[in-house]
Amino acid sequence: MPRIYLDHASSMPVDSRVFEFAKPYLRESWGNPSSLHSVGLEAKRAVEESRGKIAEFIHAENESTIIFTGGATEANNLAVKGAALRNITKGKAVIASTIEHMSVLNPMKELQKNGFSLTMLPVDSTGIVDLKKLDSILTKDTVLSSVMYANNEIGTIEPIKDISKIVHEKGGFLHVDAVAAGGRVPIDVQNEGIDLLTLSSNDLYGPPGAGVLYVKPGVKIQSVLLGGGQERGLRSGTENVFALVGMGEAARIAQQEMKQESSRLLPIRDKFIKEILQIDQSYLTGHPTLRLPHHASFRFSFIEGESILLNMDMYGIQVSTGSACSSKTLEPSHVLLAIGLKHEEAHGSMVLTLGRSTSMEDVPVVSKATNETVQRLRRLSPMSQEWRN
């Protein structure tokens, strides 16, 4: 059975060009960039070159704005805690949108436990943040607001430039989690007025285990991981040279190919949406047009997402879901609740994230499998019978 992998938001294969490029740093140039001898310097040079590629990728002012971390979760923690704690004398208020990733929300909640006031910024039913509300909840004490570039579960792209304008009128910093958006839509930190930006290596077809926090020149943050003082003292720990070098190369390739790849995926995604919405009582989640080009997310009434996922896997198709049954906490996805879905509506969610392996030929296969899956599970469900009667 051929495999159709449509869960690129969870994990992506490392691009073979990236692997070839970074491979020598595992076995040939395995130096520690902190060492002053030639073996160390070789590794250091490669890491610095990678930093430059990533700076270019997001149009940063210079390469020293790029702080490497061990992944996006760490970068989000560093942004939230690092910025809030470093600027505590300016105020003790923070803002996060209700659809942020847990690696933003949980550090925010920890700040709250430690005396910060946290205000949640709501979104509408398509997932777009409420700009008027943002304006009204910002105070002179707000040191940090965090709004993601695009959401990983519903694909909605936020109006970052407008958000940045509103935030900066009051004087706080804006952090943007761009994990889902990176490599999918062009990002320009200077033009869009972003102070802190998170990227993930694997989401660019780079090696897992690397992430980046961009820190705008002049923005002061403090470290959350203490040690030997690597990364300008902001992220201690010996560099994972292979992953960092790979991430830079992945960013370079993404920059080169993004436009072409996104315009290739867009019609495929639209066809997926068109076909799957033929199913009775099926709905698109997220924004119909302001959405990532590789992202199609749905919900189906009367059925549950983990069963959808398992059933699709039997067809060789890998998808994801935000259902309560599939989560470690047995809570439905906070994102689906934030866009106003009821618990049982959030239950029947299915997310498709396309990638380089996706082609137009996949559309009829996946649509048919989805239809059969939904029909089968509905036959098992007491809810759908009530609806038919």
> Cβ of residue 59: shortest distance to another protein, in angstroms?
39
> Cβ of residue 383: shortest distance to another protein, in angstroms?
5
Nearer to another protein, 39 or 380 (CB): 380
CA distance 146 to 176: 6
Question: Which residues bind to another protein, rule: CB under 8 A?
Answer: 302-304, 306-307, 310-311, 313-314, 318, 323-326, 328, 330, 332, 343-344, 347, 379-383, 385
Catalytic residue from among 102, 325, 360, 380: 325
Q: What is the DSSP string of 285-348?
A: -S-SSSB-TTEEEEEETTS-HHHHHHHHHHTTEE-B---GGGSTTS---HHHHHTT--HHHHHT
**Structure-token match 């690696």, residue found:** 103
228 close to 41: Cβ distance less than 8 angstroms: no
Contacts of 125 (CB under 8 A, 6+ apart): 339, 340
**Structure-token match 């490392």, residue found:** 14
325 catalytic? Reply is yes
> Cβ of residue 323: shortest distance to another protein, in angstroms?
7
Dihedral Cα 137, 119, 82, 191, nearest 10 deg: -40
> Cβ of residue 6: shortest distance to another protein, in angstroms?
13
Nearer to another protein, 262 or 327 (CB): 327
Nearer to another protein, 1 or 36 (CB): 1
Nearer to another protein, 58 or 350 (CB): 350
Calculate ∠ Cα 310-316-317, nearest 5°: 70
Beta strand spans in the chain (E): 4-5, 66-69, 93-97, 117-121, 142-146, 173-177, 196-200, 211-215, 282-284, 295-300, 317-318, 349-353
Nearer to another protein, 259 or 342 (CB): 342
Chain center to CA of 154: 11
Q: Give kind and range of the element (H or E) at residue 379.
A: helix 362-380
Q: What is the DSSP string of 360-372?
A: TTHHHHHHHHHHH
Nearer to another protein, 101 or 347 (CB): 347
> Cβ of residue 136: shortest distance to another protein, in angstroms?
34
> Cβ of residue 75: shortest distance to another protein, in angstroms?
28
3-state SS, residue 86: helix
Q: Which residues are catalytic?
A: 325
